[in-house]
């Protein structure tokens, strides 16, 4: 639902916020966050409750400052959502 690329003084790392609009809990084991160009995404784990939000700080910067897309990939590598 939100992305913070190239943080400055306010945040130490890039982050992505995920929203679960479903009525069921989403288990994130095996899912990944990546940018538009496959450069090695960040693996996810944990869960998001129904209607819940989850803020994920990225281990390393992956967003290109000139414009990019945050992609959520399912356990099978298929695109689930993008922003």
The percentage of residues in the chain with a pLDDT greater than 70, rounded to a whole number, is 87
pTM of the model: 0.80
The pLDDT assigned to 39 comes to 62
Residue 8 has pLDDT above 90, yes or no: no
For the segment 31-61, what is each residue's pLDDT rounded down to a tens digit?
Answer: 999 887 756 788 999 999 999 999 988 887 7
Which residue's entry shows tokens 């298929």?
A: 78
- Higher-scoring residue by pLDDT: 62, 73: 73
Rg of the Cα trace of the chain?
12
Q: How confident is the model at residue 27 (pLDDT cuts 50, 70, 90)?
A: very high
Selection from 64, 12, 54, 13 nearest residue 31 by Cα: 54
Q: How confident is the model at residue 66 (pLDDT cuts 50, 70, 90)?
A: low
């Amino acid at each position: 639902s939100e992305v913070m690329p190239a943080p400055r003084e306010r945040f130490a790392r890039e982050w992505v916020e995920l929203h679960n609009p479903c009525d069921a809990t989403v288990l994130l084991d095996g899912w990944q966050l990546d940018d538009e160009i496959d450069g090695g995404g960040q693996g996810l784990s944990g869960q998001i409750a129904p209607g819940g939000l989850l803020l994920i700080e990225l281990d390393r910067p992956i967003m290109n400052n000139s414009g990019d897309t945050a992609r959520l990939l399912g356990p099978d590598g298929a695109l689930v959502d993008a922003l």
